Amino acid sequence: MKETIKNGWSRDTLTSMIKKDLYTRQGQLTHNFDTTLSLQQSDLVRQTLKDPYIFDFLTIAEPFVERELETELIKHLEKFLIELGSGFAFVGRQYKMTVTDQDFYLDLLFYHLQLRCFMVIELKKGEFKPEYAGKMNFYCSAVDDLLKHETDKQTIGLILCETKNKVFAEYSLRNIHKPIGVSEYELTQALPENLKGSLPSIEEIETELSRGRKQLKKNSGNTI
């Protein structure tokens, strides 16, 4: 009930969150927040994030690549933000940052209004790899140096993978100085390759419905 009031969820959204077992997913990610943030901030961040994230509003054919997942999440940004939780403000996709003379691109960049900090989200296909933590540490450092306002709290990184070995993730984050979490994501509506293109997209359905309405209106106008 508290989450419903805080997030302003509709009845349908509340029902969806119950079905997705939100309560047991909150704060379950692998992280290093206890050693990189104050006790109060660590608790807030941990309860803000979850594991796994459920992207059942997507329909992506296997095999898919990380950029395709990113594109589909942005297409369904409103539902993506609902799954992320309250307070997330979208800043950019493939957000460009220039460090010395080299350009780097962050998959997704958000600002969290309650936590008062930037949040970098990296999307990974397959299993978590230790090198992902070092790359995210670099990104968080760059955002803190180039974007963070003096009143902002330090940037938080979130690595989303299809699967993770918890021990690998814990070892990878142990001596990282930036606050980083590792969560899994689930695509419960992923389609096998042999069905790719055989089912209409939401946009195609809406187009056909629009055509049908126009034709019906035209036919009604011609009726004597």
- pLDDT, one tens digit per residue, over 187-216 is 864 445 554 455 555 566 567 667 767 776
The answer to whether residue 108 scores a pLDDT higher than 90 is yes
pLDDT band at 155 (very low <50, low <70, confident <90, very high): very high
**Nearest residue to 162 (alpha-carbon basis) of 117, 221, 122, 111:** 122
Q: What's the pLDDT score for residue 18?
A: 44
Q: Quote the mean pLDDT of the chain.
A: 84
187: tokens are 């695509």
Encode pLDDT of 71-106 as tens digits.
999 999 999 999 999 899 999 999 999 999 999 999
The answer to whether residue 113 scores a pLDDT higher than 80 is yes
Instruction: Give the span between the Cα atoms of 139 and 89, in whole angstroms.
Output: 18
**Nearest residue to 110 (alpha-carbon basis) of 143, 71, 137, 142:** 143
3-state secondary structure of 94: strand
Instruction: Give the span between the Cα atoms of 181 and 174, in whole angstroms.
Output: 11
- Beta strands 180-186 and 53-54 are parallel
Domain count, the chain: 1
For residue 177, give its domain range: 2-222
The average pLDDT across 40-59 equals 92
The enclosing domain of 211 has a CATH number of 3.40.1350.10
Among the listed ranges 24-28, 80-84, 143-147, which one has the minimum average pLDDT value? 24-28
